[in-house]
Amino acid sequence: MNTLLIKNTRTLLLPNLPVLTANKCTKVVTKHFINTPLYMSLDQCSLFQWLLYQSGADNTFIYNTQLLRSYSKSIGEAQKEYGGKNGLKTSLGASRANLTYLLTNGYILWLNEFKMIINPMFTYYEFISRREYVAFCNKYQLADVNNIQPLLAEYVNMVKNKM
């Protein structure tokens, strides 16, 4: 595209971005999270981002069918708020398939029978020091699917101790 055209382009409208209610925590997102649209479909990426918003400071959330129904409802409300349709598939079946994809690829992990956790390599609680996070990342690199549970529990406890 012509550089002059870009330089001469001015903003004509500001998007409708209403004030959000205060969230219970602030999270830092990593480059891995920012790049999710490069390797996830729009449907998978949308669910992943919504689950991140729904999760606590320790990245955990409780899975049940109502969670996926809430996701579908939230998408509908967001489309009304921001305008337009984007073709997201939010049926219960489609949402379950997208959640299965996120689980299969390790973007979300089971913490216990009912609780899931957003992989901490994507986002972490703001009060965890860089040193603590790098130490966790180094341990994560040595883990595999058979021994990840204790490491995730350690991460959750580290966050809870910071709150």
Per-residue pLDDT at 7 exceeds 90: no
What pLDDT band is residue 163 in, cutting at 50, 70 and 90?
Answer: confident
pLDDT at residue 12 greater than cutoff 90: no
Whether 141 maps to a domain, the answer reads: yes
Q: Domain residues for 158?
A: 26-162
Note the pLDDT tens digit of each residue in 25-82: 678 888 999 999 999 999 999 999 999 989 988 899 999 999 999 999 988 888 887 7
Residues in the chain: 163
| pLDDT value of residue 17 | 62
Task: Please spell the DSSP secondary structure of 33-84, one letter per residue.
Answer: HHTHHHHS-HHHHHHHHHHHHHS-TTSEEE--HHHHHHHHHHHHHHHHHH-S
Whether pTM > 0.75 for this model: the answer is yes
- Count of domains forming the chain: 1
Does 59 fall in a domain? yes
Query: Is 6 inside a domain boundary?
Result: no
What are the angstrom distances between the C-alpha of 96 and each of 26, 31, 65, 67? 27, 26, 9, 10
pLDDT of res. 21: 62
Q: Is the pLDDT of residue 138 over 60?
A: yes
Residue 19, domain member (yes or no): no
Separation of alpha carbons 107 and 36, rounded Å: 10
Cα pseudo-dihedral 58, 61, 62, 65, rounded to 10: -170
Q: Within a domain: residue 1?
A: no
CA pair distance 58, 35, nearest whole angstrom: 21
Query: Across all residues in the chain, what is the average pLDDT?
Result: 85
Q: Pick the more confident residue, 149 or 44.
A: 44
18 in a structural domain? no
Is 2 among the domain residues? no
pLDDT of 13 reads: 66
The answer to whether residue 7 is domain-embedded is: no
